[in-house]
Structure 1
């Protein structure tokens, strides 16, 4: 016996809404998907915020912080993008990166948002070789976390 066809209501990776044959008001579904795509493809966030900014401009986005309040309540770690229709929240997927404009660095999602920390610089003296090796090890680890090295 054949299995009946079953369709998902959202895309598997980003959760974008799907269209169905005969669907009324397709423009609503398409526009919601375009808004999410616009926020994600821009790849930028202003920073981390636990409360919604007072006067955001359309297209601005933030990573929702650990103790969200107001419109951000219950949206920890999601990307919050401001649109003409209000806030849109997007669940990041593992490996997703966003450029933090406030800090001038990238953040990467792996169950939580992280940034590589700069290694300690070696100082002069008898132990400079040991310190230099330790600094390089930290640097290589940070580059691996960003997916630059495997």
Structure 2
């Protein structure tokens, strides 16, 4: 990044009295078209596709070749003017088209499949919240119902396996 680039997406900025401003402006628009509500065809691809279509994007792998050399981890987008690259930043997100999963860059790598939040609401009703403390399996009592104990144990194990209560 330089003083001629924006801080987050490294978009080219216009300078006072600059000639051919439309070139810089168009470059910034091409990069925004890749970065904003990004969608990618593949995550971790090292070899550029042979015949990409304009508007298609890929997340470059760790060992890129060809035109992608030097852009590991970036979002590569094919445009009418050739390849454009958006370097990953913490929080940059892209939807993986084939799976529908969201990939989010954590500052080190792209992570997929993670959902983060404090609670899950469906139609305004909380259905999942923060993890609660462990619940012990009943072991005593004056009347023992083995079938009920098995059922309670199964429920508790299921809640533990889903991470809803501590083990």
Asked if these proteins are the same fold (TM beyond 0.5), I'd say yes
Query: Corresponding residue for 1:65?
Result: 61
Shift of 1:128: 4.4
Q: How many residue pairs align between the two structures?
A: 127
Query: Corresponding residue for 1:116?
Result: 113
Shift of 1:117: 6.0
Larger CA Rg, structure 1 vs 2: 2
> TM-score when scaled to structure 1?
0.76
Alignment gaps of 5+ in structure 1: 1-6, 119-123, 138-150
Separation (CA, whole Å) in 1 of partners of 2:92 and 2:114:
18
Cα distance per residue 1:69-112 (max 9 Å; x no partner): 11111211100000001001111210111100122210110121
Query: Corresponding residue for 2:118?
Result: none
Shift of 1:66: 1.6
Separation (CA, whole Å) in 1 of partners of 2:37 and 2:157:
42
What SS class does the counterpart of residue 108 from structure 1 fall into?
strand
1:92 equivalent to 2:88? Answer yes
- When the two chains are superposed, the root-mean-square deviation of aligned CA atoms in Å is 2.3
1:36 to 18, 31, 41: 31
1:45 to 40, 46, 54: 40
